Amino acid sequence: MPVQVKICGTTSPRDARLSHEAGADFLGVILHHPRSPRSVSLQTAREIGAATSLPIVAVTVNQTFEALLEIAEILRPHALQLHGDESPQLVEQLSARGLRVWKAISGDQNTLFSQAQAFRGAGADAILVDAREVSPQGVVYGGTGKRADWNAARSLVESGFRVVLAGGLAPENVERAIETVQPWGVDVVSGVEATKGVKLHQAVLEFVVRAKRLDRTQPL
């Protein structure tokens, strides 16, 4: 079964349509995160959603329960992707409201496993493995181009977790990443951009084609 492809950091209806035409499965929109050049308003996110029939994943960092409920009510996303230091308790609260949650985690193998266990137990639908970076301005939670730990991600897959692999993916390495990790999905941001927040159509197309021509061997 082909891997699911999420094109994240979508900032315009134009880029949404390009990703749809390329054969992507999900669009990621980053909300309420002023430090990111890819962050958009809820109004722009709605316009992106209206431009295509692709499911939207709303990506947020350290938002409150109330703010997340507002996003869910206005945007009606396929899932809320929590990409910061959110707790299992928050995931549990959202899941109890019938909301689908993808939780981003990072770290070494032991850290990833304990986090994945906690968040799946709280109701997370998918675990997104990414790589963080610390800058003078603070933690950069994603979109850095830094590669995640593929071996640790593979261990999660072998333990039965639904894994979305992110972190440093690009057309040049996505096939090798899928062969190594066997994830349920892959997530790309900077690897398919012309500039931050602007997608390069040829790169998006090449990424999707390369990802889709491999079959996942691990069962869901």
Q: Which residues contact residue 68 at a Cβ distance below 8 angstroms, ignoring those fewer than 6 apart?
A: 60, 80, 82, 90, 94, 99
- For residue 41, give every residue at least 6 positions away whose Cβ sits within 8 Å of its Cβ, in sequence order, or none: 31
Q: Known catalytic residue: 130?
A: yes
Which H or E run includes 121?
helix 109-121
Angle in degrees, 0-180, between the axes of helices 42-50 and 65-75, rounded to the nearest 10: 30
| Non-local CB neighbours of 44 within 8 Å, separated by 6+ positions | 11, 12, 29
- The answer to whether the beta carbons of residues 149 and 180 sit under 8 Å apart is no
Selecting among 8, 25, 149, 187, the annotated active-site residue is 8
Q: Which of 125, 130, 149, 187 is catalytic?
A: 130
Residue 149 annotated as catalytic: no
Active site residues per annotation: 8, 130
